């Protein structure tokens, strides 16, 4: 070699270039730097639980699920024919089961155009057209009053070589397909996605304080498809499957009356308790545990345990009680205001605000401030869904802060009952308040101040008003939770305000002494369902604002309606058999719903609900 | 940093004579050439200094032992969560009921000849406890480092032991657990240096061969002597929750399976080790 020293120099130059070319690297944020590429087409391997994922699970096969008593009873009460009901027909899968479903999956990234920052990872499941969005941009989860969806709200981050996903705000539905194993709307999901070559493993960890005694862990295996397998749609429209079925009929089995509960254990020569022991079924030692279960104990698993106190709701932060008032946009110019007792709805526009219900009245100043932040014009109308304090408590404060410019000089003003209600006397200093006539009557009877009592009332089935560009209808619901309930429907915005007819947090407050009844409550819930239209796969579309709890759509109303019908049927069966109220209460007929709606203290307890159902049924003519 | 200095010192010793000669020749160069050459040399020196300041990777060094390189801690006691194929795993399904297994025609024929009494008579009660079926049974497992290159996995169900060798497996196999070769596995770029940083995290990959023929299910669903079992052990820590090991496994058996058989098994960490309950193999 003639010039080895030049080679050395060249090497040094190369080294120099390498060093200079490598600018110091800024460690990428873990939330933005994919540790693994999940993009592409994936097909589930289906080498586990094929029956569940294909034909469907067998009745009473609950083995491997850590169901608590409520979960087990819910599943035993479930009749698969429930899916023949119109509103159940097109329901999508919940996120955990969606990942377990048949059909192909597609995963892709969404990046910000100019920075290429990873915003989200999308998962599309062929079955039920399940579209999941996993937000990777660090956004927080929504508040408890935000709507729930079948796939929930997901955020993710990369940890090690896996994607970790946290999902909240899921609807209620099936944790297992086909045999009633439930998942509640309080469940949360943690997932891990890890890839081994062309094999993707998805681990789902479901935590459900309502129906599970410990987290449920399952894993799903996928293999990568090199080409688009096509067939990404899953069209569904509901239809009439059983004609002439009464609207208040929901297929279910009474406790202890599930006729096929022993079929599974008999077919496979297993002890009856084998699939009913909840978390014990998941662990080694099940056979030894089964040897300790006698026949009586096993049979006892088919119905609520006797002599046990009712469970209470496991829901967290059911009603926002943080001392603040929060605004949640519903749709178009309709907003939900939460925090002061019952939910409040505000519609805004070029006219004055139209407000439905006024809350408890403890935070009226904050409610008013919230409304003013939404509407430049003062409150013009207030509609009350019932006379209950949690929905009319703020009437006086909100009413007196409003004005109704449509009244001065009008004929109606001249007809105002001066000195009685007072607020037509100076309409520019008070909003007009409307409700069913029974609300006025009951509030006056209770001695409510004149400025708090609706004066603009209606007597029959419907009151209507076109305001702020929308057709607003009040539909009277006779004998629901009281004798003065109205549903308020914003037609263009497609939002129904349900008042206490519907709640996501508690059993319906059926006030029998104030004219409420369980049948009227069921009818009112069906009246909502008769007006809702889902957008896609059983969710979205018409929004329903509950009296308490989170913004809903028809799915939540449907589940609530089913619950009231099922409890009614159980109580009725005992009433028909001659049971007394104490006997009905002791039977724990709400045991599968108590961990969701139950209360043993406070203004509305489980016992009060059961008593209301009992007494309204006893008050009915026989045969109803 | 020590490695870097060793590298620099070594480079200086190797290159010093040529560098000295280069500098001398540089001094004798024509002025027009000398300036660019000096710039090149200055850049080279700068690069070395920059590299030094950045803590460059330096010369090859002995790789850490597999134990030291472990991306996560697998050791401890773990209990299986039988949440999938529950009936087939907690109990012995009837003959002919092979659940989701992709058995081939030959595999089904073999499975249909299952006779637990025959297995017992032959002293083969452990046929369902071989490597390809063991971790789908209801069991607890204990994982520990036997040495820096060997992981040991014990189960209380059937009192079985699996040995995972990083590097060449030792032994001839032919027993229930066969020979297992282990490695740490993580996503890698197809071409080194083309983007992306070093892989983060990883899985324990275990490839097992030379197993004595056994059962994938206790009711006789078979796997043969030529089966290749590939497993990935991943640890997932649920925020505010349990630590899990999920074992994703692929069983390839051209004789008995029509396609590769893919499953994943969940285990939960147990801090209370008192439930460890060794039990012998049972054919029924």
- Tens of pLDDT, residue by residue over A565-586, are 999 999 999 999 999 999 999 9
Mean pLDDT of chain A: 92
| Mean predicted confidence (pLDDT) in A270-282 | 98
In this prediction, residue B91 carries a pLDDT of 97
With 0-12 / 13-18 / 19 or more C-beta atoms within 10 angstroms meaning exposed / middle / buried, residue A536 is: middle
Alpha-carbon gap: B47 to the closest alpha carbon of chain A (Å): 4
Check: CB of residue A333 under 8 Å from CB of residue A349: yes
> What are the chain B neighbours of A9 within 8 Å (beta carbons)?
22, 37, 40-41, 44
In this prediction, residue B200 carries a pLDDT of 73
pLDDT of residue A294 exceeding 60, the answer is yes
Count of alpha carbons within 13 angstroms of residue A528, beta-carbon side: 35
Can you give the pLDDT of all 284 residues of chain B as single tens digits? 444 444 444 444 445 555 555 555 555 555 555 665 556 555 555 454 444 444 445 567 888 999 999 999 999 999 999 999 999 999 999 999 998 899 999 999 999 999 999 999 999 999 999 999 999 999 999 999 999 999 999 999 999 999 999 988 889 999 999 999 999 998 776 665 555 566 678 999 999 999 999 999 999 999 999 999 999 999 999 999 999 999 999 999 999 999 999 999 999 999 999 999 999 999 99
Report ipTM for this prediction. Answer: 0.90
Residue of chain A whose alpha carbon sits nearest to that of B251:
A47
- Tens of pLDDT, residue by residue over A310-352, are 999 998 766 778 999 999 999 999 999 999 999 999 999 999 9
| Mean predicted confidence (pLDDT) in A476-489 | 98
In this prediction, residue B2 carries a pLDDT of 41
In this prediction, residue B62 carries a pLDDT of 87
Put simply, the answer to whether A223 touches B262 (Cβ < 8 Å) is yes
Alpha-carbon gap: A20 to the closest alpha carbon of chain B (Å): 7
> What are the chain B neighbours of A282 within 8 Å (beta carbons)?
81-83, 86
- Tens of pLDDT, residue by residue over A588-611, are 999 999 999 999 999 999 999 999
User: With pLDDT > 90 as the criterion, what percentage of chain A qualifies?
Assistant: 84
Does an H or E element contain A373, and which?
helix A364-374
> Which of A19-28, A30-39, A238-247, A413-422 ranks highest by mean pLDDT?
A238-247
Check: CB of residue A470 under 8 Å from CB of residue A477: no
pLDDT of residue A409 exceeding 90, the answer is no
Put simply, the answer to whether B266 touches A203 (Cβ < 8 Å) is yes
pLDDT of residue A24 exceeding 50, the answer is no
- List the structure tokens of A152: 């929930």
Q: What are phi and psi of A17, to 5 degrees?
A: -60, -40
pLDDT of residue A16 exceeding 60, the answer is no
Put simply, the answer to whether A17 touches B47 (Cβ < 8 Å) is yes
pLDDT of residue A15 exceeding 90, the answer is no
Q: What is the model's pTM?
A: 0.89
Q: Which residues pair with A328 in a beta bridge?
A: A336
In this prediction, residue A25 carries a pLDDT of 38
- Tens of pLDDT, residue by residue over A509-521, are 999 999 999 999 9
With 0-12 / 13-18 / 19 or more C-beta atoms within 10 angstroms meaning exposed / middle / buried, residue A306 is: exposed
Put simply, the answer to whether B83 touches A166 (Cβ < 8 Å) is no
In this prediction, residue A408 carries a pLDDT of 76
User: How many other C-beta atoms lie within 10 A of the C-beta of residue A241?
Assistant: 12
User: Could you write out the three-class secondary structure of A118-154?
Assistant: EEEEEEEECHHHEEEEEECCCCCCCCCCCCCECCCEE
Put simply, the answer to whether A283 touches B250 (Cβ < 8 Å) is no
């Amino acid at each position: 070699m003639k010039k080895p020293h030049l080679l050395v120099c060249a090497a040094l130059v190369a080294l120099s270039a390498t060093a200079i070319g490598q600018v110091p690297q800024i460690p990428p944020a873990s939330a933005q730097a994919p540790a693994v590429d999940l993009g592409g087409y994936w097909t589930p391997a289906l080498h586990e639980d094929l029956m569940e994922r294909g034909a469907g699970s067998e009745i009473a096969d609950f083995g491997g699920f850590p169901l608590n008593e409520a979960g087990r009873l819910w599943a035993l009460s479930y009749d698969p024919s429930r899916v023949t009901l119109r509103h159940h027909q097109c329901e999508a899968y919940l996120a955990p089961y969606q990942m377990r479903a048949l059909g192909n999956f597609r995963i892709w990234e969404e990046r910000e155009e100019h920075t290429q920052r990873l915003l989200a990872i999308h998962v599309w499941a062929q079955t039920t057209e399940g579209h999941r969005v996993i937000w990777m941009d660090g956004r927080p989860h929504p508040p408890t009053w935000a709507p729930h969806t079948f796939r929930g709200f997901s955020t993710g981050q990369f940890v090690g070589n896996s994607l970790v996903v946290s999902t909240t705000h899921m609807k209620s539905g099936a944790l297992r397909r086909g045999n009633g194993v439930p998942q509640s709307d309080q469940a949360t999901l943690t997932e891990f996605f890890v890839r081994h070559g062309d094999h993707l493993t998805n681990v789902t960890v479901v935590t459900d304080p309502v129906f599970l005694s410990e987290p449920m862990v399952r894993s799903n295996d996928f293999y990568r498809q090199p080409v688009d397998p096509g067939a990404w749609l899953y069209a569904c429209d509901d239809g009439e499957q059983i004609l002439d079925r009464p609207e208040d009929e929901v297929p279910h089995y009474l406790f202890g009356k599930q006729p096929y509960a022993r079929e599974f254990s008999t077919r496979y020569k297993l002890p009856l308790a084998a699939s009913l022991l909840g978390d014990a079924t998941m662990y080694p030692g099940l056979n030894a545990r089964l040897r300790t279960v006698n026949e009586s104990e096993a049979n006892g698993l088919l119905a609520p345990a006797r002599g046990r106190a009712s469970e209470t709701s496991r829901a967290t932060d059911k009603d926002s009680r943080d001392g603040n008032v929060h605004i949640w946009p519903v749709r178009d110019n309709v907003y939900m205001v939460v925090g002061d007792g019952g939910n409040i709805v505000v519609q805004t526009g070029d006219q004055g605000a139209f407000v439905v219900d006024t809350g408890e009245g403890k935070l009226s100043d904050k409610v008013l401030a919230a409304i003013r932040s939404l509407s430049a014009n003062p409150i013009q109308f207030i509609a009350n869904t019932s006379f209950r304090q949690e929905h009319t408590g703020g009437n006086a404060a909100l009413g007196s802060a409003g004005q109704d410019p449509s009244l001065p000089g009008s004929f109606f003003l001249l007809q105002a009952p001066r000195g009685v209600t007072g607020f037509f006397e100076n309409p520019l200093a008070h909003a007009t308040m409307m409700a069913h006539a029974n609300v006025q009557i009951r509030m006056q009877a209770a001695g409510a101040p004149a400025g708090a009592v609706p004066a603009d009332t209606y007597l029959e089935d419907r009151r209507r008003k076109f305001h702020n560009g929308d057709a607003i209808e009040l539909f009277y619901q006779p004998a629901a939770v009281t004798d003065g309930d109205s549903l308020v429907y914003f037609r263009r915005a497609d939002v129904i305000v349900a008042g206490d007819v519907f709640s996501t947090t508690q059993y319906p407050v059926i006030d029998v002494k104030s004219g409420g009844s369980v049948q009227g409550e069921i009818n009112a819930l069906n009246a909502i369902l008769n007006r809702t239209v889902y957008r896609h796969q059983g969710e979205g579309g018409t929004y329903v604002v509950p009296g308490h709890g989170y913004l809903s759509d028809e799915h939540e109303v449907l589940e609530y309606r089913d619950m009231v019908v099922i409890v009614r049927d159980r109580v009725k069966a005992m009433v028909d058999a001659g049971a007394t109220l104490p006997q009905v209460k002791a039977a724990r007929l709400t045991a599968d719903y108590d961990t969701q709606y139950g209360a043993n203290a406070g203004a509305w307890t489980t016992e009060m609900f059961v008593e209301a159902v009992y007494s309204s049924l006893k008050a009915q003519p026989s045969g109803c | 940093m020590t490695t870097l200095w060793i590298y620099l010192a070594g480079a200086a010793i190797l290159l010093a004579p040529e560098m000295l000669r280069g500098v001398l020749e540089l001094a004798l160069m024509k002025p027009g050439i000398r300036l660019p050459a000096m710039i090149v040399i200055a850049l080279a020196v700068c690069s070395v200094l920059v590299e030094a300041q950045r803590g460059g990777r330096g010369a090859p060094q002995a790789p850490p032992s597999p134990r030291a390189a472990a991306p996560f801690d697998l050791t401890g006691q773990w209990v299986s969560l039988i949440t999938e194929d529950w009936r087939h795993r907690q109990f012995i399904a009837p003959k002919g009921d092979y659940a989701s297994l992709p058995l081939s025609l030959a595999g089904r024929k073999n499975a249909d000849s299952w006779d637990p009494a025959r297995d017992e008579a032959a002293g083969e009660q452990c046929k369902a406890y071989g490597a390809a079926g063991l971790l789908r049974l209801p069991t607890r497992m204990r994982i520990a480092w036997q040495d820096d290159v060997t992981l040991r996995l014990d189960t209380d169900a059937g009192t079985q032991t699996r040995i995972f060798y990083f590097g060449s497996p030792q032994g001839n196999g032919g027993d229930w657990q066969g020979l297992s070769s282990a490695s740490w596995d993580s996503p890698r770029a197809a071409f080194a240096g083309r983007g992306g940083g070093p892989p983060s995290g990883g899985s324990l990959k275990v490839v097992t061969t030379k197993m004595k023929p056994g059962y994938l299910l206790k009711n006789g669903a078979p796997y043969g002597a030529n089966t290749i079992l590939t497993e990935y052990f991943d640890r997932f820590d649920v925020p505010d929750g349990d630590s899990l090991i999920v074992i994703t496994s692929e069983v390839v058996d051209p004789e008995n399976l029509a396609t590769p058989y893919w499953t994943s098994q969940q285990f939960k960490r147990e801090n209370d080790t008192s439930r460890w309950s060794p039990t012998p193999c049972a054919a029924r």
